[in-house]
Amino acid sequence: MADVNVAVIYYSSTGTVARIAETIADTAKKSGADVRLRRVTELAPDAAIDSNPAWRANVEATAGIPVAEPSDMEWADAVVFGTPTRFGNVTSQLKQFLDMLGPQWQAGKLADKVYSGFTASATTHGGQESTLLALYNTIHHFGGILVAPGYTDPTKFVDGNPYGTSHVAGQGDIPVGEQTLTAARVQAERVVKLTRALKSGLAG
């Protein structure tokens, strides 16, 4: 039986963040964790989704992934959040999920867990760091333990983002490549390793 529970909770419009989320979830499983891959509820109207074929295709492709619930947060020992950048900030879809967690926060059920994040933007320096920092503001309010990848692996000097895995997607025409996937694996392994150590230490 897995000794660490990891929830990967994300929002993705055209599939870039979904691809990263899958890699993080898969790597966490390979690292011995019990994993829940969850997408947050889509808030955009059908007219907006239908205006972008890639957006509609991703909605249909990920329809089988369960929608995140507050109970997934309570179950998890670690939560890895994923979101595209929206003007240098977290998407409204993920933010709504976070904003629904008031009862869990008030009950102390979000504290003392490990948290981490990942993102994607259309352009280089398109708000990736500010998006992750904005996300991490919420973690501080939770009383969570932030585990960013930092420069803890030689590959991090290649992708260059110590805040979390990030990808430049263009207009959806730049697929997630090996550099981003490597960053995702490094981040997932670090999250599982430190969550396991923290959980073991608290139990002792």
Where are the domains positioned within the chain? Answer: 5-203
Give me the chain's average pLDDT, please: 95
Quick one: angle between helices 16-30 and 178-203, nearest 10? 50
Residues 4, 171: Cα–Cα separation, whole Å:
37
pTM: 0.96
pLDDT at 88: 95
**pLDDT above 60 (res 71):** yes
Backbone angles phi, psi at 118, to 5 degrees: -145, 160
Two tokens, residue 63: 């329809």
Which single residue is written with the structure tokens 């983002």?
161
- The pLDDT, as a whole number, for residue 198 is 93
Q: Just give the CATH number of 5-203.
A: 3.40.50.360
